Each structure stands twice: as C-alpha cells, then as structure tokens.
A and B are shown apart, each in its own frame.
Chain A
Amino acid sequence: MTRRTESRSGTGRLAAWLLAGAAGLLHAAAFASTADHSQFKQLQQTFGSGPAVTTVCLECHARAADEVMASKHWTWSFPDPHSGKQLGKQNVLTSFSLGIQSNNPTCNACHIGYGWKDNSFDFTAKENVDCLVCHDTTGAYRKGTGMAGHPPVAGMALPEGTKPVDLADVAQNVGKTSRDTCGTCHFHGGGGDGVKHGDLDTSLTAPDKEVDVHMDALGLDFACTECHKTTDHQVAGSRYALTAKDPHGALMRGKDDGRNPATCQACHGNTPHKAARLDRHADKLACQTCHIPEYARGGIATKLTWDWSAAGRRDSHGQPLLTRDDHGRIVYDAKKGAFSYGEDVVPDYFWFNGKVEHLTVSDRIDPAKPVPLNRFEGSADDGESRIWPFKVMRAVQPYDRVHLTMLKAHTTGNDEDSYGRDFDWHRAIARGMKDAGKPFSGEFGFVETEMSWPITHMVAPKEQALSCVACHGAQSRLAGVPGIHVPGHHGHGWLDKLGWWLAGLTLLGVVAHGAGRAFAHRKGVRK
C-alpha cells in the first residue's frame, strides 16, 4: 500500500514523510478489515466506469448508497434550522467560485457522485454514488478535471497526458476513510491546496505534532473520523451546524445524548486545564481561540483576497496574463483575477453563538459597503456565544446593479460563455444566472465582499497555545471584541488618570514640603 503524496519542501519534511509512510503501513495493517476485497470474484474484472464499480459494491453493501444519498455530501443542500434557508453548495455564495450550477463539470469533481454535469443529473440513481473517492487506500484514485465527478478510465476519450485510473485495483483495496481521502476534496476547497479554509490543506496529510497535535502522523495520527464520528455515512460536525459552545464533560462512549461528537469538549470535557483560572476562560473563549494560535501553519499558504474585477488582462502579445510570486503561487490569473495569500496567519476573533447567516443569490445587498457573504451571529450577553477564531476572506466580485443581488458566473470550462475564453463578464454572468435559474438585469458591477471561515483544525501542542500576553497586553488579539474586560489590556480610563495624577501630586507635595524644610533648616542654622 502506498500513501498519496504531495510535494513538500525541506529534508525534515521528507524524513517525516518517510517515517509517516512506514507508520501508515503499520497503521493500515493494524486496522485492516477482516474482509480482503482483493479475493472477491466480483472485483476481479475490468471496470469501464465508476458506476460499474458502485453496482458491485452495492451487491454486499446494500444500504450504503441510500445512506450516502441522505447526506450533505450527496445533496449539497442543507436546510438551515435557524433561518429556514436552503444552504449547501448548491445555494450559498463564496468568494472562491461564482456559483456551481454553470460550472458543474469542474466543481462537481468534488461531488460524491458520478456524472453531475448539469440539471439533468439523477440524484436517485444509486450507481451514481462514488464509493471509491472516500474508501480508496491506494492513493491512485482521482476524479478527472471537468469530468463531472467521473474518474478517467482507459477506453474513455481522455485529454492528452491524463493517466487512467485502474478501477479494479482501487476497488480491491478499499478500506476506511483517511485524511488522504477526505482531503482529496476538503484540502482543496476553493480550487487549490489550502485555498479556502486556511486550517485544511495537504500539510495535514502527514502533519508533525506542531502542525496538528491530534493528526500528528508519528503520534496520535487521528483520521478525520476520529472527531467527525460517522454513522450510517452521516458525518458529524458540519460547518453549517457548528457547536459554538459545549459546556459539558466528555462524551461517554455509546451514550447518545444528541451532542456533536466533533467538539473539543466531546473528548476533553469543559475543564481540561490544571489551573481553574484557565478553565474559566472557556466561558468566554472557544478552545480554538488559544489552541490554534495561527492558521495555515503547515507551510501551505491560504488565499486571503481575491479580486475578480481585475481579471481579463493580457500581455503585450495578447496572451492572457499569469503572474506568480517568489513562492511560485499564482498572484494573477487573467481567467480569475488577482489574489493574495498568507501563511501562519493570525485569525480574526468574534463572538459566535452557532448561528450562521449565509447570503444566497436571492438576497438583496447594499453595494455601498463590503457585503458579508456570511455572518456569524453572537454576542457577549446572549449566553450562547464564545469568542472564536476566523479566517476572513476578502474579495471583489460581481453584483446586479438593478436587482441588488450577488451574481453567479460561468467561470470554468472552455465554451463560448465561459469567462476564461473571451473574458466577457456579461456573457459569463448571464449564463451563470440562467443555469442557476435566477434573474439577471444585464447590468453588473463589482462589490467588495467578506466571508468568514471558522478555524478549528491545526490544533497546536499545548506548549504552543497562545501565551497570556497575546491577549492580556497593550497589543491584544481580542482588542475590539465587545463585552469583555481583559486585565492587562483594558484599563479603567478615568480611574487610572485620576490615580496617577493624585500619585504625582502627592509626590510633588512631599518633595515641595521636604524642600521647604531643608530651606527653613538652613536659614535656621545660619541664624
């Protein structure tokens, strides 16, 4: 068995990788299934497509497809219990892609299915469920770019240079999900490694302890499902249903009390520190606030800004511009616009009570100020909130000047409407909105947007948690967070002024008094 590898720099990392690979082998052996799928006759055949494999899987795992089809991984839709809105990838907006509907063949390479290339996709066809993308252990499985979720298989018309996937080999080596399989999509959200989340990137494939104390490949080596406990293919702990505060003890195994098993408290309880004073912080702060001192800590940068309005420039030869920075990161792409990145980024902090309001393409906006694409609700006094760390993504993206809504656009592919071919925003937007089934007035402009992403992975070892002075000092990370008194940062305004004035006056008084005595004494001596 081999593990999926990504290019990483530094010999230290390479060494860690080799060790991690060895550890991974032992790990896999220890957790291997009692069923050896390579012995199964049904899997000893040449598969011409993904659905052909799924059909065989379902012969034994009869209910698996039904379970997957009930999950957000399949529906990409999530009815928000707070707002009643339909969320999920089909509905929400981000700064990273301007809507999925017209871009399905590309975006849906991360759908847990085969063939969602347009609205005709059959969400009830069980053979369209992609078992392999999550259960591959070979690292050889992948979905093709622009192939709507299908893997490239020998016999298909494949773009030049595309290596086909040996589906039989992958199918014979299926196993539990892993950081590699989850990471196939979740590390690459937003179109590249680490682009979207800031706390999820390929550095978590085999991280060292400093990058993530739980996933440490040579230590605890947690798989994602260690926290995101999965039953019946329903993965716990969604960004759409975060548990902002969990002031309870550790979960008891087997006891189903309806709690989210993916919180820190689910294992650590709410009083994990030696000092009660630190535990007390937990009634204001999320664990992540101190224990994830920075995000994008694994050596892979995350995107911090994206200016779509800058797209479309050509060089002097009329070729679309593509510019990289010193690290080899694309900072300008004529098809997409201008970007900036960050590593070891200090998060933004705000109160969060578990409710997130997501802007959809039907909501009206005020283009006079930056448009929040999502809004994390919470306050110091609602009794439900904790102060959380966030990545704030800032972008400039199109909106409808007449309808005052955000706009979707066709930004992928190479057809006549795709922005990347002719750099015609009007056509790309018209197509994006048409495919989304939403109106477009024909007049568009660009507006600044902000989108917040909660930071919860890349937990540092406790020695590297934030020190007191990160908040309790003149320069405080929590500066500007309302409703808290941070000793060492917040003084007492007028009391401090009055106190120091009085101290100064007293000092001046006694010095003057002493000087007077000395003066009088000298005169007295002379007399």
Chain B
Amino acid sequence: MSERVYVFPLFERFWHWAQAILIMLLLVTGFEVHGTYRLLGFERAVDTHTVVAWTLVGLWVFAIFWHFTTGEWKQYIPTLTKVDAMIRYYVWGIFTDAPHPFRLTRLQKHNPLQRLAYLGVMTFIGPLLWVTGWLYLFYASWPAWGLERYLSLEWVSFFHTAGAFMMLLFLIAHLYLITTGHTVFSHLKAMFTGWEETD
C-alpha cells in the first residue's frame, strides 16, 4: 500500500518548472551562440540568452529568499549515509524489484544522491555559469572595473561552456532519474501536484 507525502509546496514547484524552462532555453540559445548550430540567428540567440539569463537571476533571488526563510535549504545538507545503498540500488536493486533504500519524508524529501547532485548544481555548476556569464555580459565594462588585465574572453567563454556541458549532463541524468520513482511517472506527478507517492 502506498502512502502520499506533501513534499513540494507551490512556490517550490513554480521555481522548479520556471527554472527548468529557463535552463533549457539557455542551453538551446547558448549552444547557438557558441556556434554549435543555427536556429534563431546569432544576434537573436544572444538577445534571448541575455533576457532569459536575467530572468533566471530574478527567479533565483526569490528562490534564495524562500530557501532561507522556510529553512528548506537544509534539504541540501550533504550526507554520505546510505549513498552506497543508493548506488547499489541503481546498479542492481532497481532491476530486481528490491525496495528503495531511502524513505522519503517531509523533512527529508531528497535521497542522498539527489542531495549531492542538487547541491553540486546549486553551489558549483550554477555559480560557475553565473560568474562566467556575468563576466561575459559585462565584457564591455572590464576596463572600467579593472579586470581587463586579468581576464580573457576566450577563457571566460571556456569556463562558461564547460559549465553548460555540466548542466547538460545533469539535465540528461535528471530527466531519466525522475522515472525511477514509485512508478515511472510518480516523481513527475509530484512535481506538479506536490504530493509524492512512496512505497
């Protein structure tokens, strides 16, 4: 018999989906700016990328505020407990219908691998993209800010691209792993309704 737990409040769901759309738009336009393909045309790709990036910045301001006022930031405190069990589950257990080693609650809504992955996205991949993206956007101001001597557009672009690839890898893995819930669509459903089904 499965239980239902309310894990994703309305704002979190809004944040998640808005962010999902924005990040995918950034990937699509970003790789066009990078020269990987032609879709919107370079100029429109740059303009769209810029607008979307600022929108994401705005969203994050709210998200950071929300995380700290609600204490939800604690959901991302990393732990190694049961990480080995999680890995064993994905490598083996999931094929043999073994029980999920992690039991989700309102206070612990992410399994240990999710905690690590999301923490990595929010404290490493995100900031890497943000810092390099801002430097990219404000390339014109480098001389005024005294940065001209320390930076080159090529390296800023390099690390921004590296961050983009990391985000792309995360996205692929994430899109797949949401199918590994109680049923194939239960994680996805939870992200819309807020209610997660558990074993």
Contact = CB atoms under 8 A, between A and B. Distances in A.
A489 B161 CA distance: 14
Given A280-B139, A503-B165, A520-B96, 7 more contacts: A472-B35, A487-B153, A495-B158, A499-B168, A502-B169, A503-B168, A513-B90
A279 interface: yes
A467 B43 contact: yes
Interface string B15-43: 00000000000000000111110100111
A442 interface: no
B43 A506 contact: no
The listed residue with most B CB atoms (<10 A of its CB), out of A276, A495, A499, A516, is A499
B95 interface: yes
A510 B158 contact: no
B176 A510 contact: yes
A412 to B, nearest CB: 50
Contacts of A513: 90, 176
Given A468-B42, A469-B41, A279 B172 contact: no
6 contacts: A468-B46, A473-B35, A474-B35, A499-B164, A514-B176, A524-B97
Interface residues of B, number: 36
B165 A502 contact: yes
A502 B169 CA distance: 7
B140 interface: yes
A502 B154 CA distance: 22
The listed residue with most A CB atoms (<10 A of its CB), out of B32, B36, B97, B165, is B165
A277 B153 CA distance: 13
Interface string A487-501: 111111001101110
Contacts of B97: 520-521, 524
B97 to A, nearest CB: 6
Given A491-B34, A517-B94, A485 B157 contact: yes
B10 interface: no
A52 interface: no
What 5 A-B pairs are tightest by C-beta distance, nearest first?
Answer: A499-B165, A510-B176, A276-B140, A485-B154, A280-B140
Interface string A122-161: 0000000000000000000000000000000000000000
B176 A276 contact: no
Contacts of B94: 517, 520
B173 interface: yes
Contacts of A279: 140
Contacts of B168: 499, 503
Nearest to A503: B168
B55 interface: no
Given A503-B172, A507-B172, A487 B43 contact: no
Nearest to B173: A506
B53 to A, nearest CB: 14
A390 to B, nearest CB: 25
Interface in A455-499: 467-469, 472-474, 485, 487-492, 495-496, 498-499
A279 B139 CA distance: 11
Contacts of A276: 140-141
Interface of A: 276-277, 279-280, 467-469, 472-474, 485, 487-492, 495-496, 498-500, 502-503, 506-507, 510, 513-514, 516-517, 520-521, 524
Contact of B172 (A474, A498, A510, A520): A510
Given A488-B33, A503-B168, A277 B157 contact: no
Contacts of A491: 34-36
A317 B132 CA distance: 74
Contact of B139 (A277, A502, A506, A510): A277
Contacts of A496: 34, 36, 161
Nearest to A498: B165
Interface of B: 32-36, 38, 41-43, 46, 90, 94-97, 139-141, 152-154, 157-158, 161-162, 164-165, 168-169, 172-173, 175-177, 179-180
A436 to B, nearest CB: 49
B95 A488 contact: no
A468 B49 CA distance: 15
Nearest to B176: A510
B157 A492 contact: yes
The listed residue with most A CB atoms (<10 A of its CB), out of B90, B173, B175, is B173
Given A492-B158, A503-B165, A469 B42 contact: yes
Contacts of A502: 165, 169
A473 B154 contact: no
Contacts of B177: 510
A473 B46 contact: no
A488 B35 contact: yes
A142 to B, nearest CB: 48
Contact of A468 (B43, B140, B153): B43
Contact of B157 (A469, A487, A516): A487
Contacts of B157: 485, 487, 492
A495 B169 contact: no
B117 to A, nearest CB: 13
Contact of A473 (B42, B90, B179): B42
Contacts of A469: 41-43
Contact of B42 (A488, A510, A524): A488
B154 to A, nearest CB: 4
A506 B165 CA distance: 12
Nearest to B142: A280
A280 to B, nearest CB: 4
A161 B154 CA distance: 66
B64 to A, nearest CB: 28
A301 B179 CA distance: 66
The listed residue with most B CB atoms (<10 A of its CB), out of A472, A473, A514, A521, is A472
The listed residue with most B CB atoms (<10 A of its CB), out of A487, A507, A521, is A487
B173 A510 contact: yes
Contacts of A487: 33-35, 153, 157
Contacts of B32: 488
B30 to A, nearest CB: 10
B104 to A, nearest CB: 20
A382 to B, nearest CB: 16
A513 B177 CA distance: 10
A495 B165 CA distance: 9
A505 to B, nearest CB: 9
A88 B139 CA distance: 42
Contacts of A524: 97
Contact of A488 (B34, B96, B153): B34
Contact of A520 (B46, B95, B154, B161): B95
